[in-house]
Each structure stands twice: as C-alpha cells, then as structure tokens.
Amino acid sequence: MLTSVIASDIHVTLKASPIFTVGGFHITNSMIYGVLCSILIASLMVIAARKITVKAQKGLFMGTVESLVEFIIRLLESPFGSRETAARFTPYFGVYFIFIMFTNLLELVPWVGEAIFHENAGVKETLFRPFTADLNGTIAMAVIAIIMVQILSIREQGGKKHLQHYFSDKPLNPINMFIGLLEVFGEFTRILSLSLRLFLNTAVGEILITVFMSLILAEGRTPFAVIPILLFEGLVAFIQAYVFTVLAGTYLGLAIAHASHDEDHHPAEIPDDLETRGMAGG
C-alpha cells in the first residue's frame, strides 16, 4: 500500500510543458526558467562590470566573479595554447560555463520543479523547469555554439583557411573531398553530442531529486537525507559546464590550428578524459 502511494505522488516528465501561447508560439516552463536565469545572471555581471578595477577587489561577490573569470581563462588555455588567446575568447565561451553552471545550480532551489504549479486547461503543470533538462534547450545551445565556432574561425583566419580546415589546400582531390565532407558531417555529430550529454545528465538528476524527495516525504524521514543527492547534483552542474565549455573551445582551437601554426602556437588537442575522437566529430 505504501509503495503505491509513493509511486502515485511521483510526477516526472522529460518534456517541457507549455504555459501560455504568444502568436501561436508555445512558451514552455523551461523557456520561462531560462529567461529568468539569464536576466539574473546578466544583472549580476553588469553589476560586477561596473565595479571592476585594475586592482583586485575586496568582498565576496567581486572576489567570486574575479576567481570565476580567472578559472575560465585557465580552462581555455589548453585548447587555445596560450593565455592571451584564451583571454580573448573568454567572453564568448565563458557565457556557456556561467549559464550552464548557474542554471543547473538554481534548479536545486525549492521553487524549481515540483513546487510551484500553473493550471493550464484543467491540467497542473510545473511553472519552472530546468532549461538544460529540456532537449530543445540543449540543442539550441549546441547549435549556437557550433555556429559561433564557425564565425569566430572565419574572423580569426579568413574563409579560405577555414575551409582548408575541412578540405585541406587541395579540395578537388577526391580523397580530400570525401574527408572534408566527413568533417562537415562531424559538426552535426558535435551538436548531437553536446546537446544529448547536457540534457541527459540534467534530466537524470532531476528525476533522482524528485524520486528521493518523494520517498523521504512519504515515509516521514528527515529532509537531510536528500543532501548527498543535492551535493552530487551541484558537482554534476560544475562538470557539465566544464565539459561543454572545454569542448566548444577545443572545436574552435582545432578550426584555427592553421593560423596557430603561423604564429608558432601549439595546435589544440581534445583532452583524452573529456571526449573520444568519435564523439568529437573528427
């Protein structure tokens, strides 16, 4: 009897739910959550930008922001081969790290998930759903990241060298053409890899939190029993932000390897502990 009661209280869905419609376009709970998180993060970064000076700032907030930026720069040094290049691209790739980490951490607060509901056509739906737990959201992030890599590569070394990254300097050679087409196809596998990895890790974490919270509340146990799961999800949030940022940076590092050789930079390599060659799309 207890088991059936517990099971009936658990409501887990992998699909984002529409909350309202604007011009025939459905606005889902994951979109609302993503927009609110973006506004919060952007507001904090604007405040930090206004306070930043040449000298190190005192205080927890500014110290945290400066440490975070320094961490991201060091993170990108490996794929780009130099601190100068890493610092130049940090504003582009740091956005992904900060957004993924903080949106995943904010999903642990009580009002996200099975806490606040919105009634739509007689059906109760959660008002806030983690953005990275929506496959549409992670696919959109991955597509934007890959497009950004292409644009930055062209800006960095020109269109000709960017194409040579795929087809070498002799594109009409049948073998080079075939390999180049495989490389282009690899960009789509990168989108799939980035989006599915981020989505599945966040979705599984959401399911774990929901199930454990339901069991704890149903059996009258102390809520502190769920703390290990929350700590684990916090670690996963950091790891997913780390992996997504490093891989996106590595894709650009590989794309500009021709220009890097001209400047005596070391070519970027995908870290062995993050991505196999097949998953990296070439």
pLDDT, tens only, 207-237 = 777 776 666 655 555 556 667 777 888 888 8
Residue among 136, 103, 110, 108 nearest 34 (CA)? 103
- Angle, helices 83-106 vs 60-80, to 10°: value is 120
Given a contact cutoff of 8 angstroms between Cβ atoms, the answer to whether 214 and 10 are in contact is yes
Comparing 256 with 243, which gets the higher pLDDT? 243
| 206/220 Cα distance (integer angstroms) | 21
In a domain, 48, yes or no: yes
Task: Give the model's pLDDT for residue 262.
Answer: 46
C-alpha–C-alpha distance, residues 204 and 34, integer Å? 19
pLDDT exceeds 50 at position 4: no
Give residue 188's domain range. 2-262
* In a domain? residue 51: yes
69 within domain boundaries: yes
DSSP H helices in the chain: 2-9, 29-51, 60-80, 83-106, 135-167, 174-218, 227-255, 257-262
CA distances, 99 to each of 59, 168, 195 (Å): 23, 35, 14
Residue 267 lies inside a defined structural domain of this protein: no
* Three-state DSSP class for residue 28: strand
The Cα–Cα gap between 267 and 264 comes to: 9
Cβ distance 248 to 149 under 8 Å? yes
**pLDDT for 250:** 92
For residue 141, pLDDT over 90 is answered with: yes
pLDDT at 213: 67
Distance set, CA 68 to CA 71, 79, 80, 225, 227 (Å): 5, 18, 18, 30, 25
Which amino acid is present at 252? L
Q: What is the mean pLDDT of residues 76-85?
A: 91
Angle CA(152)–CA(192)–CA(90) in degrees, nearest 5? 30
**Overall average pLDDT of the 118-133 stretch:** 73
Least confident of 28-37, 52-61, 127-136, 257-266: 257-266
Query: What DSSP assignment string belongs to 117-173?
Result: EEEETTEEEES---GGGSHHHHHHHHHHHHHHHHHHHHHHHHHHHHHHHHHTT-TTS
Task: State if pTM tops 0.95.
Answer: no
Q: Hey, how many other C-beta atoms are within 10 angstroms of the C-beta on 119?
A: 8
Q: Establish if 221 belongs to a structural domain.
A: yes
Total domains, the chain: 1
Q: Are residues 5 and 218 in contact, defined by beta-carbon separation less than 8 angstroms? A: yes
Q: Is residue 7 part of a domain?
A: yes
> Residue 100's closest CA among 126, 63, 137, 69?
137
Q: Is 114 helix (H, G, I), strand (E, B) or coil?
A: coil
For the segment 194-212, the average pLDDT, to the nearest whole number, is: 81
Does 274 fall in a domain? no
Query: What dihedral do alpha carbons 149, 62, 132, 74 form, nearest 10°?
Result: 40
Q: What is the mean pLDDT of residues 50-76?
A: 84
Identify the CA nearest to 11 among candidates 211, 237, 156, 281.
Answer: 211
Q: Is residue 186 over pLDDT 70?
A: yes
- 137 occurs within a structural domain: yes
